[in-house]
Amino acid sequence: MPNGEGWLVLTNDDGIEAPGFELLVKALHAAGHPVVSFAPKGNHSAAGMRIQLGSPMPLRERTDLVEAWGLDGEAPVRLFELDGTPCDTMIVALDGGLAHVAPDITPRLVVSGVNLGPNLSQDSYHSGTMGAAREAGLYGMPAIASSFTSFEPEGMQKAVDATVMLVERVLPLLPPSAVNLRRPSVDMGAAHVSPWPHEALEHAWAADPAAAILAAFQHGEVMLNLNVGPDWDGSWKSTRLGTRWYRDAVSFDDAGEGDVATFRIGAASIDHSVVEDGDCDAVDAGAASLSSLPTWPATHPFALEEALLAQALRSGEDGWPLWMTAHA
């Protein structure tokens, strides 16, 4: 059940009227969670972390969707659309836009999705869904990216249900409002901060790695990436990124004399190599894949050490990441 004062901030990359977004908003509202959306006006799939520098981006409140979706429960809900990319929505929302249009709303957790299509393996570089969650982390917000691994919407409710389960598992681990929004202070001495390029004789987090990972999540240094397939059997698996290959990704039309050839990107087939604890393998086995991923790029001071990320991969008997249960 809902816990605390903060709101869930929702976005996606398929656009505010996408089926997965509608289903998630309805489910979280029905569960009693206060929800505010800053979602793209249109589809920005595979936009990665693209932003529209210097371009005017109109923001509109979609009270029509609140009515059309039957969001008449007790939990408050406000839906905004931004004519921008997924990352634009998070920058605008978290760097003053939300405070400007809805000063009474205090963010607690960002949820991006539910995406139509997988965000596994190297999809993490291309995904607008994950890009928005990562951007939220850069602003100090704990964030979740959620995807349904089929390209057809049938069965998407499974991913929505799993996302609600994850949100309700995470909320008790968070304070009532985000503790590090817009990063008012930088603690370079935090246990999860990497000493790179120096090699630590003793890891600052060694005494309690679960607490260090939890702190990293609370401060936006770790994000959660959820992938649920149409054959989800209800089980969970703590995962790493696997190996996924897009074969024959480019098609093109023959050009006549003097004409320009036309190319299209869209994989004709997808396969993957087996990787221990890989996200692709977990989904293929019928589990919900939950990956604890670093928000910051390698060599950044806030990028987690590999040894600490290995601790984040550890799972409990129920398959959930151990760091999420050790301090529950």
In a domain, 258, yes or no: no
In a domain, 255, yes or no: no
* Residue 319 backbone phi and psi in degrees, to 5: 90, -15
Contact in structure between 151 and 191 (CB atoms under 8 Å): no
- pLDDT at residue number 239: 98
* Cis amide leading into 197 (omega within 30): yes
The residue ranges of DSSP E strands in the chain, in sequence order, are 7-11, 35-40, 59-61, 77-82, 107-116, 143-148, 222-228, 236-239, 243-247, 250-253, 262-265, 269-273, 288-294
Q: What is the CATH number of the domain that holds 23?
A: 3.40.1210.10
- pLDDT at residue number 1: 39
- pLDDT at residue number 327: 75
pLDDT in tens, the chain (328 residues): 344 479 999 999 999 999 999 999 999 999 999 999 999 999 999 999 999 999 999 999 999 999 999 999 999 999 999 999 999 999 999 999 999 999 999 999 999 999 999 999 999 999 999 999 999 999 999 999 999 999 999 999 999 999 999 999 999 999 999 999 999 988 888 888 888 888 777 888 999 999 999 999 999 999 999 999 999 999 999 999 999 888 888 888 776 666 777 888 887 788 889 999 999 999 999 999 999 999 999 999 899 989 999 999 999 999 999 999 887 6
- pLDDT at residue number 245: 87
Which domain range does residue 216 map to? 1-243+276-328
> Which residues lie closer than 8 Å to 68 by C-beta, 6 or more apart?
none
Contact in structure between 37 and 111 (CB atoms under 8 Å): no
Q: At CA 289, angle to CA 139 and CA 6, rounded to 5?
A: 35
> Which residues lie closer than 8 Å to 124 by C-beta, 6 or more apart?
130, 225, 241, 293
- pLDDT at residue number 256: 65
Task: Please tell me the pTM assigned to this model.
Answer: 0.95
- Per the structure, the count of domains in the chain is 1
In a domain, 259, yes or no: no
In a domain, 121, yes or no: yes
In a domain, 265, yes or no: no
The number of helix segments (H) and strand segments (E) in the chain equals 11, 13
Tokens 């396969």, residue located: 271
- pLDDT at residue number 2: 42
In a domain, 285, yes or no: yes
